Chain A
Amino acid sequence: MEKLEFRFPAQPATPAAGAALCGVVGSGNLEILIRPGDEADACVVSVKTSARGFGRIWEAVIAEFAARHAAGGTRIAINDMGATPAVVSLRLGQALGEYTGGVQ
């Protein structure tokens, strides 16, 4: 298991729920839990992944997510079981959608 921590500047999010969870820690999948963070203009992400050595790819995927979405003021925790970058991107968008009430 590898533990990774990231912090990216992001536009503030408008939460509709206290927390949001999506995905399952199953093969090729991951779960994402979004909770309110301490800094309104930053997205803080901690990742626990079964696949070692992919830190730079995680960094790129999350940086792209933080740049594209108003995801500031959040603390995102991820438990990963080998999801591909595309799956990670989709799940991040889905989790943020549930957190902000945009997608049900």
Chain B
Amino acid sequence: MNAPVANKLVLRRSYFEASARARVAAVLDAGSFREFLPPEASEPSPHLAVLDIPGAFDDGVIVGAASLGGRPVLVIAQEGQFMGGAVGEIHGAKIVGLLRRAVQDKPAAVIFMADSGGVRLHEANAGLIAISEVMRAVLDTRAAGVPVIALVGGSCGAFGGMGIVSRLCSAIVMSEEGRLALSGPEVIETVAGVEEFDSKDRALVWRVTGGKHRYLTGDCAELVEDDAASFRDGAIALLSGWQKPMPASSTLRAEQARLTERRQRFAGLRDGLDVWQALGVAEPRQIPLMDRDSLVALKKGLPA
């Protein structure tokens, strides 16, 4: 089960720890990024100013154009370190504007580096409206034939409204460190009690929301190492083979039926361990210890 330790030195730049600007620089073709509304042309959130909280010039999201493996792409990168990457009014408007541009310009893809706990609660209705507009804009972009690829591997994962937005994208590239879910662990614990979900149990949180779990359940298309270069390679690999036609309503109905069946099948399971067992993994307890390549190989051997 344990892969031999690689005996070569590999320089890794953690995607998890990087800032949004560092991710943009490392994931896209070197020097190709051109930012729309750069910090010096942008305004911090007026809502945060009213609440006496310092804002960020870019309101926690970077948008622009670049190339990825030679293909023209439009790019969104959320900064998880600023207010948990939460979506406020300006933040959301920048994302929506970029997606609308994608509908017009038809780039090869939109690369959406999600790192967000969801709606910025400080901005109340403006934040909620912003994120619903982002959802609509993602669907419009896909309907225009432009794939939207979400990269999820930041410290805030993709939760709340951004969890929904990520699943509305055409495909997700994720690292083990990334997390993806609807309600965040603390939210579940606050609402339903620690017996329902212990948000302090980090291992449990990752077994239920983490990249390995999402990969085994088929919620993300690619699992990559926590390395900006691996995210880059993963996104390029997805795009080079990209042939998905627009989903027909029959395809969507079949997907809906599959998800309903999955929900019934996994109902009552309390832990990723139980789900992996149900998926046919012989030794679920080994999953958290496995490296990326072994896990990908294991998934190939699972019953369909």
Contact = CB atoms under 8 A, between A and B. Distances in A.
B56 A79 contact: yes
Interface string A45-65: 000111000000000000000
Interface in B39-60: 39-40, 44, 49, 52-57, 60
A25 B38 contact: no
Size class of the contact patch on chain B: 10 to 19
Contacts, number: 50
A39 to B, nearest CB: 19
Contact of B79 (A1, A24, A27, A48): A24
B170 interface: no
**DSSP majority for the B interface?**
loop
B19 interface: yes
B19 A24 contact: yes
A81 B54 contact: yes
Given A1-B54, A33-B57, A79-B54, A21 B82 contact: no
B183 interface: no
A21 B54 contact: no
A19 B39 contact: yes
B81 interface: yes
A18 interface: yes
Interface of A: 1, 18-19, 21, 24-27, 29, 31, 33, 35, 48-50, 77, 79-81
